Structure 1
Amino acid sequence: MHITLPLAAILLGLPLAAQAEHYVVRTMGQESLPPKWMLRDSRPEGLCPDILAAMEKAEPHLKFTGQDDFRSVPQIEQGLESGSVGAACALLDSERRRKVAFMSSKLYTVRHRLAAAIGDKASVESIDELVRLRPLITTSRGAAYSDQLRVLGLEVDDSTSDNLTNLKKILAGHGRFVYMNELTLAWIIRENKLSDKVRLLPAVLKEEPIFFWISKKADPGAMRLMNSALQKLRASGELARIYERWSNERAAPLPN
């Protein structure tokens, strides 16, 4: 029986198994959300770049691009819908995202807290207390929890995805609290030397899992490799180690 091998395999003298297809998956960085996504010396750093690099190592036929292209969450969602973005790292569950993408592996859990101006002595111990207080809350544009807060009858300003600007808004008296995950809040406060102006309220108001999302228009082969990589990283404990590295003392929540 005559078998025709792929021309590239013949020319290179490589075994057929070495000719497995490679997949390039475009993603986007999420703007103003350290330490999940950061750009330092024109290089992407943070939780998600580390997760994507680990996925490439776990599945060498997988390659991610676009980590240095920082966009808002709505733009990332639009990319998932059109297929111009193949995957999105570390977003909360939402109805919008389920429509345009498949929810893959849980990456880690986020804890939501409030930030207030240092002179504001408010004590909010629960979501119920926040609802009774009914303050204006600033959040990041496109954040899944913005709609969660609105459903509770709270007024939300999510007009910008620049979270440093959101902190400056409450310092200027526009809005009383910033609502966000504590890791990012603590990071922005420290990096911008705002600890004498802004404080984190002690209570954790909500904990939610955060996921890796794959566009419904992604190549099925790329989907399989991404899911396989994430399963390997979870089984080996690497996902937990990556999160722990970015939750070290430098990024830890500020003392209350």
Structure 2
Amino acid sequence: METRAGHPTAVPRPNRRQAMARGCALVGVAAAVGVDLSGVAANSAMAAPPGPPTPAASGAGATGSLTLRSAAQAGAPAKYASGDPQRPGLCGEIAAAVMRTDPDLHIEGLHRQVPLRRLELMLSNGDLDVFFCLLKSEHRHALMRYLPVPLYRISHVLAMRVGDERAPRTWDELRAFARRQPLLLAQGTKLAATLQEADVAFIESARSDKEALQMLVRGRAAGVYGQDFNLRQAARGAGLDSRVRIGPQVFEEETQYVVVSRQLPEAVVERLTDRLRQISASGEIARLSERYR
């Protein structure tokens, strides 16, 4: 059985004992492979780009002019600012479709690049009102609110160098593959929790999927674990299509959602949800996402 993207159906993840805390696992694996974690720590503490914050939406209701603060995710060209006019960024395009549906609704900040961990903090603090395209995770539910309209599904896949004929198809095979050389993962991604739960060795030493693929072709890793949308866009953007291949196996599937600050007024939340339902029912979200597959 295959998914819409042509990958085999995701293999079920085994129930295993609770893995070590991420920090311990990362430090241990990094020590084994000689990775310097100081750059990772510095990146995770990175501040948002300078500039005074715009006042949050307050007192706004279901109608009338409304401006909401948002941002783009740095290092995620499949979502934002890809540089490709044919595929400028799926999440930015979805945000634009919402604004076309509601001309009185303005979403600002979509060109401001912010690291993922900083985005989570800004949503939690109420420094952002809305963000387009985020996967669900337990720790995020306490920081922000997910709107109940699915955007698009992503697949967890493995990227390897062209010429490497290995093709892990089960979690057992992926664990064995990663024991020889830990998988490479972009920093801050929720996919790390999936690998921890499955007891698959990995390191988060790349600042983006593009950088991870560049490290892959230089022989710094044997495989990059990531989202199919992101890895394909990163390979195109880095000119690595002929040197990197995406493995056929889907290890997990998840759905992207719009998230909002828990401080956002309920009337605004309902307005956003209604506009998302409109562009979902019309098929516009599906048409947009199909162009990025």
- Once the two structures are TM-superposed, the CA of residue 61 in structure 1 deviates from its matched residue by 2.8
**Structure 2: which 5+ runs fail to align?**
1-61
Please name the residue that 2:237 is paired with.
191
Is 1:151 the counterpart of 2:197? The answer is yes
Name the aligned partner's letter for residue 284 of structure 2: E
SS at match of 1:91: strand
Is 1:237 the counterpart of 2:283? The answer is yes
Q: Is the 8 A contact 1:55 1:230 kept in 2?
A: yes
Identity, % of aligned positions: 26
Q: Is the 8 A contact 1:106 1:209 kept in 2?
A: yes
Matches within 5 A, 1:170-181: 170-181=216-227
SS at match of 1:60: coil
Q: Is the 8 A contact 1:33 1:163 kept in 2?
A: yes
C-alpha separation in 1, matches of 2:108 and 2:290? 24
SS at match of 2:248: coil
Please name the residue that 1:216 is paired with.
262
Name the aligned partner's letter for residue 188 of structure 1: A
Please, what TM-score do these two structures have when normalized by structure 2? 0.72
Q: Is the 8 A contact 1:62 1:226 kept in 2?
A: no
2:253 to 207, 223, 226: 207
Please name the residue that 1:81 is paired with.
124
C-alpha separation in 2, matches of 1:178 and 1:172? 12
- Once the two structures are TM-superposed, the CA of residue 126 in structure 1 deviates from its matched residue by 2.5
C-alpha separation in 1, matches of 2:254 and 2:260? 19
Q: Is the 8 A contact 2:184 2:206 kept in 1?
A: no
C-alpha separation in 2, matches of 1:139 and 1:226? 32
RMSD: 2.2
User: More strand by proportion, 1 or 2?
Assistant: 1
Q: Is the 8 A contact 1:31 1:161 kept in 2?
A: no
- Once the two structures are TM-superposed, the CA of residue 199 in structure 1 deviates from its matched residue by 1.7
Please name the residue that 1:54 is paired with.
97
Deviations 1:91-147 (A, max 9, x none): 111112211111112101011211112232211112332123334111121111112
CA separation of 1:195 and 1:49: change in aligned 2, threshold 3 A: closer
Please, what TM-score do these two structures have when normalized by structure 1? 0.81
Please name the residue that 2:42 is paired with.
none
1:110 to 132, 154, 163: 154
SS at match of 1:100: coil
- Once the two structures are TM-superposed, the CA of residue 20 in structure 1 deviates from its matched residue by 4.2
C-alpha separation in 1, matches of 2:183 and 2:106? 39
Q: Is the 8 A contact 1:80 1:215 kept in 2?
A: yes
CA separation of 1:185 and 1:39: change in aligned 2, threshold 3 A: closer
C-alpha separation in 1, matches of 2:220 and 2:197? 21
SS at match of 1:139: strand
Deviations 1:139-163 (A, max 9, x none): 1211111121122222222233322
C-alpha separation in 1, matches of 2:218 and 2:82? 28
C-alpha separation in 1, matches of 2:220 and 2:88? 32
Name the aligned partner's letter for residue 234 of structure 2: I
Please name the residue that 2:171 is paired with.
127
Q: Highest CA radius of gyration, 1 or 2? A: 1
Name the aligned partner's letter for residue 31 of structure 1: A
SS at match of 1:166: helix
**Structure 1: which 5+ runs fail to align?**
1-18, 248-256
C-alpha separation in 2, matches of 1:20 and 1:229? 12
Is 1:31 the counterpart of 2:74? The answer is yes
- Once the two structures are TM-superposed, the CA of residue 178 in structure 1 deviates from its matched residue by 0.6
C-alpha separation in 2, matches of 1:131 and 1:174? 18
C-alpha separation in 1, matches of 2:193 and 2:112? 26
CA separation of 1:125 and 1:39: change in aligned 2, threshold 3 A: closer
SS at match of 1:196: coil
Deviations 1:229-252 (A, max 9, x none): 1111112111111212333xxxxx
